[in-house]
Amino acid sequence: VKSRRATSFDIAELAGVSQSTVSRALRNSLLVSEDTRRKVRAAAQQLNYKVDVNARNLRAQRTNTLALLLCADNEASESQINPFFLSMLGSITKASAHHGYDLLVSFQHFSNDWRADYEDSKRADGLIFLGYGDYTGYISKIARLAEQGAHFITWGPVLKGQPGHFLGSDNRAGARGAVEHLISLGRTRIAFLGTKSDAFPEFKERHLGYCEALQAAGLLLDPALQVDAFTSQEHGARAARQLLARNRPFDALFAASDLIAMGALRALQEAAIEIPQDIAVVGFDDIEEASRSMPALTTVRQDTKLAGEQLVVRLLALIRGEGFEASLIPTQLKIRKSCGACG
């Protein structure tokens, strides 16, 4: 049977000092002598003492905890979460721990009940939103949170006049670079797979980058070469089939995400099309799987490690009451076999 937990009073008794001194000593206060600090530490260790975080949080009015709210119901894949966000989850978890914060993780079923009251209830000092690609319903809720003075940051598109604070990759530049690369390889009829609606600003930015690259090269922007698709293999495959059905010639394909690209890859291969000989394919994200597809997928890498770290660092700054300057995280083109540049 487990004995009663030790409290700071127990430590105080054992170490022969007052309870307040114990508290100070354990928090490394400078107002305590090296000698007593040692005594207190020894006593704490002996009694296997651990600070009760609830008492601490209640008294100190902060939790040393962040909450990660992951959107669970994409339009796309019902069951499975986008691997890119899982990668982000990993890096956020690590960054959070690195800064001495615990992390609460919650999948939000957006439609029904949107629980963003982690801060109100003093469960967390701040919130990170992830995976809210569908902007329309989200932004109004965000606005309300921002009004209330909540501390939160959202991974997503960095646009002018948004409520709240956003951090995201430089989607437009990344897309532009990818398409420029395709053009430099001699491809001229480049299709875009992904929705370009206002509801999905990240995809829209990628589409803009695509358009910019084409225009800069003096190439025709053929609307028939764009097909809507959400982030999933199924949507990607379906979109590729639609594209083929249009009987419009194209020699390259830029997908708004790796999942779309990989679905397309498969659909094209099923139609006996050779990648990259017949059609070059480029994706976006650089999920693990991208490097393992056949052929390996050229893609625009989002730096999830830096992104997670930055999300945490900047959220902590917000919590401290510091300002926020918008910025974009650079992407990097990962050239693999699917675009025909190598291999």
Question: How far is the C-alpha of 127 from the C-alpha of 32, rounded, in Å?
Answer: 35
Binding piece for a copy of itself, criterion CB under 8 A, among 7-15, 97-105, 200-208, 249-257: 97-105
Question: How far is the C-alpha of 117 from the C-alpha of 192, rounded, in Å?
Answer: 39
The stretches of 158-303 forming alpha helices (DSSP H) are 171-184, 201-216, 233-245, 258-270
Told to check if 17 binds DNA by CB under 7 A, we report yes
Figure out which of the listed residues 20, 33, 46, 90 binds a copy of itself, where binding follows CB under 8 A. 90
289 binds, among DNA, a copy of itself, none (CB under 5 to 8 A by kind): a copy of itself
**CB burial string 8-33: b at 16+ within 10 A, e below:** bebbbbbbebeeebbbbbbeeeeebe
Question: How far is the C-alpha of 273 from the C-alpha of 35, rounded, in Å?
Answer: 76
Q: Which is nearer to DNA, 9 or 107 (CB)?
A: 9
Helices (H) and strands (E) in the chain, counts: 11, 12
Told to check if 19 binds DNA by CB under 7 A, we report yes
Question: How far is the C-alpha of 144 from the C-alpha of 137, rounded, in Å?
Answer: 12
Told to check if 93 binds a copy of itself by CB under 8 A, we report yes
Closest CA to 70 of 145, 6, 150, 129: 129
Percent composition of the chain: helix, strand, coil (DSSP 3-state, to 5): 45, 15, 40
Answer whether 111's CB lies under 8 Å from 75's CB. no
Shortest Å distance, C-beta 118 to DNA? 15
Shortest Å distance, C-beta 93 to a copy of itself? 5
Figure out which of the listed residues 4, 28, 35, 54 binds a copy of itself, where binding follows CB under 8 A. 54
Shortest Å distance, C-beta 138 to a copy of itself? 19
Q: Which residues bind DNA (CB under 7 A)?
A: 5, 7-9, 16-21, 23-24, 26-27, 30-33, 35-36, 49-52, 55-56, 58-61
Q: Which residues bind a copy of itself (CB under 8 A)?
A: 1-2, 5, 48, 50-55, 57-58, 63, 65, 68, 72, 80-81, 83, 86-87, 89-90, 93-94, 97, 102-107, 117, 120-123, 148-149, 233, 262, 266, 269, 288-289, 292, 294
